[in-house]
Chains A and B, each alone.
Chain A
């Protein structure tokens, strides 16, 4: 198992149903700053045309996650499926993982006095036999698709084999597992929502990177 998520981000209409579903499903603390997932937004002007981009995001469950390395008590750890989780009872609130995360995907849960982040609904849905996360299940425009990178016949791999995609901040070398699909229709226009420095991958290019990172880190994956 190697869980990941594919995002057809250009479908996002910023309805925030995913944010609400996440809070409801995972009992996340209320508050604008307390989000396991969020829809980022940028406004910009190109040649006089104002445009807005919506960027749905969450923890990237990096295969080579720096947040796990810096945690002094192994509160941040890998579990089967290459997920990065936080054992909140072990968190000493050093905030090292928050500093290490290139995506600001972590926050402090003030009720539990510990760091919190996206779990891909591992404890609340996946372990109970569900095959989707709450954010995927609730999305009206089918932005997200959760799945297993080790399942060659699975929807995620099939999609990644068909479409080009990119990952966030690839240069940081953390091997993130949120795969953002490059829009198919009117690709040239849609590419304006992606920075010029973002490398666009095919699955054949990405697969060896994933395998190398998995080989390096899978020894640390704990059984749940």
Chain B
């Protein structure tokens, strides 16, 4: 294929048709279309919901808008955001995409430092998929936030807030990882080679900082004890992200390297299998110890309450037990792929339980005599759970389209999935 070389990077000269209308891009368009419909619903709900105040009721009695607003005020579901459970599927997906993408980047950097040749050969592809996942996560959170006010992140920053720290973090993180990919795909010259190890170490440090900031985001919520009593939240995020990342790497390898690597494919799968066994073991031990120290009000809801089927039947079984049984002995390659699929689903459920579980214990037991109703129309509840809105599910589906589109475009232009000898 004809190439254009810019700053040492070979860019494929592909036609618009090859670039934008290949089967992967077409699939991403379908997913993106679903996501865009979700965004449309979000905008409708967020910016065009008819609300009313007492003054409106006095000034415009009997108008159609007033009737609609009053009907929604009395019989509605309380608008887009639930007061008792403000964080929902957006945060689950954001966490999953960002942490898993960063996990892939983190693991690849570690493997490169450990001089694992098979990972070195495939690193550019893994890193690109990792950064595509990070971008998919950011897409989700951008839909969740009120973008019309985002300029205040710069205009009125609160440097200590975990939420604000995301801004400089990703402004550094994404270009940094792109630079790492650049180093991998460029024809290495003198200075590039000399800094590559320093970049790898820096990459590991940035990843740890990222997980620390993410942990800070949750642990500042003092009254949500699932998040504040989870021991060493930074470490938990890293270990659980490893399991999810290895799952994604397993499936990615199946689709990308199964035919290309030929005999070496088994070597790659073996690295993934062994890493999976180690990380699953770490996560299992971590969870077992963690639930000894998590506030019992939250721990009981998850372990023995309404979340128990999701926790044991979803998270523990799919993310850990089944993959461990499939992987603890060397076996056929497809077993690793199968285990990877289970790990992806299981760890997603794990994130779901983490976010929804954090809100599951009502804050309304303020007097210590039991949970309160807030008002005459409110329900008395000892467990808070609101299933995700349809718009949220659609946006999450759209985020998969973002990942696929970003990765496919970069791969078509830069051949990041090509095997590279270093």
Contacts and interface: CB of A to CB of B under 8 A. Distances in A.
Interface residues of B, number: 71
B47 interface: yes
A48 B327 CA distance: 57
Given A30-B69, A32-B74, A35-B374, A72 B223 contact: no
Interface stretch (B77-85, B111-119, B260-268, B281-289): B77-85
B375 A29 contact: no
Given A96-B161, A111-B51, A40 B220 contact: no
A44 interface: yes
27 contacts: A23-B54, A27-B54, A30-B52, A30-B70, A31-B72, A31-B79, A33-B79, A33-B378, A38-B374, A40-B366, A42-B369, A66-B220, A66-B222, A71-B163, A72-B163, A73-B152, A74-B157, A90-B156, A91-B146, A93-B149, A95-B87, A96-B221, A102-B363, A108-B79, A110-B51, A110-B80, A114-B149
Contacts of A136: none
Interface in B364-390: 364-378, 380
A165 interface: no
B171 interface: no
A102 B222 contact: yes
A90 B149 contact: yes
Contact of B375 (A32, A66, A73): A32
B52 A99 contact: no
B161 to A, nearest CB: 5
B297 to A, nearest CB: 12
B367 A53 contact: yes
A33 B157 contact: no
B158 A168 contact: no
Nearest to B69: A30
A196 B149 CA distance: 44
Nearest to A192: B369
B145 interface: yes
A152 B372 CA distance: 34
A74 to B, nearest CB: 5
A216 interface: no
Interface stretch (A121-129, A142-150, A169-177): A169-177
B373 A41 contact: yes
Task: Classify the secondary structure of B's interface with A.
Answer: loop
B35 to A, nearest CB: 19
B368 A195 contact: yes
Given A34-B73, A113-B46, A113-B47, A71 B158 contact: yes
B64 to A, nearest CB: 16
A117 to B, nearest CB: 10
Interface of B: 46-47, 49, 51-57, 69-70, 72-74, 76, 78-84, 86-87, 144-150, 152-153, 155-158, 160-164, 166-167, 217, 220-224, 358-359, 362-378, 380
| Size category of the binding interface on chain A | 35 or more
Which are the 5 A-B pairs with shortest beta-carbon distances? A195-B368, A40-B372, A102-B223, A33-B78, A72-B164
A173 B146 contact: no
Given A35-B374, A92-B146, A108-B81, A168 B367 contact: yes
Nearest to A27: B53
Contacts of B147: 92
Contacts of B359: 99
Interface string A46-84: 000000010101000000001001111111000000000
B153 A73 contact: yes
Nearest to A100: B221
Nearest to B164: A72
B146 A196 contact: no
A38 B157 CA distance: 32
Contacts of B51: 29-31, 109-111
Contacts of B223: 66, 100-102, 169, 172
A160 interface: no
Interface in A151-202: 168-169, 172-174, 180, 192-198
B169 to A, nearest CB: 12
Nearest to A19: B375
Contacts of B76: 31
Given A31-B76, A70-B163, A103-B366, A92 B220 contact: no
